[in-house]
Amino acid sequence: LDSEGRLVNPAVAKGLSDKLKPTKTAVVRKTETVPKRLAQPRAFSLADIQLEASNKYGFSAQETLDTCQSLYEIHKAASYPRSDCQYLPESQFTDAPKVLAAIAKTCPKLRELVLKADPTIKSQTWNDKQITAHHGIIPTQLPVGWAALSDKEQKIYELIGRRYLAQFFPVHQFNSCSIDLDLGGETFIGKGKTVTSLGWKVVYKNQTDPDTDKTESDQILPSVKSGDILKVLKTETKNELTKPPAYFTEGTLIAAMEKIHTVVDNPEYKKYLKEGDGIGTPATRAAIISELKRKGYLEMKGKKICTSSDGIELLKLVPELVRNPILTAVFERKLRDVESGKSTLNSFIESQQKFILQEINKAKAINNGLQ
Question: In CATH, what number is assigned to the domain containing residue 364?
Answer: 1.10.460.10
Give the pLDDT of residue 12: 66
57 counts as catalytic: no
Q: Which residues, in sequence order, are CB contacts of 171 under 8 Å at separation 6+? A: 37, 38, 39, 40, 197, 199, 200
Set 80, 164, 204, 272: catalytic member: 80
- Asked if pLDDT for residue 1 goes beyond 70, the answer is no
Which CATH number do you get for residue 217?
2.70.20.10
Query: In this structure, are 35 and 175 located in the same domain?
Result: yes
Confidence of residue 364 (pLDDT cuts 50, 70, 90): confident
Give the pLDDT of residue 211: 59
Of the residues 166, 192, 208, which one is the last residue of a structural domain? 166
- Asked if pLDDT for residue 101 goes beyond 70, the answer is yes
Query: In this structure, are 214 and 266 located in the same domain?
Result: no
Query: In this structure, are 179 and 216 located in the same domain?
Result: yes
Query: In this structure, are 147 and 201 located in the same domain?
Result: no
- What is the residue-wise DSSP string for 96-130? HHHHHHHHHHH-GGGHHHHHH--TT---TTB-GGG
- The residue among 223 and 134 whose pLDDT is bigger is 134
- Asked if pLDDT for residue 169 goes beyond 90, the answer is yes
Give the pLDDT of residue 136: 96
Give the pLDDT of residue 43: 96
Query: In this structure, are 116 and 71 located in the same domain?
Result: yes
Query: In this structure, are 212 and 262 located in the same domain?
Result: no
Residue 314 domain flag: yes
Q: How far apart are CA 168 and CA 120, in angstroms?
A: 7
- Asked if pLDDT for residue 263 goes beyond 90, the answer is no
- Residue numbers of the domain that contains 349: 250-370
- Asked if pLDDT for residue 79 goes beyond 80, the answer is yes
- Asked if pLDDT for residue 127 goes beyond 90, the answer is yes
- Asked if pLDDT for residue 246 goes beyond 70, the answer is yes
pTM of this structure: 0.78
- The residue among 258 and 146 whose pLDDT is bigger is 146
Q: In the chain, what is the straight-line distance between the N-terminal and C-terminal CA atoms, in Å?
A: 53
Structural domain total, the chain: 3
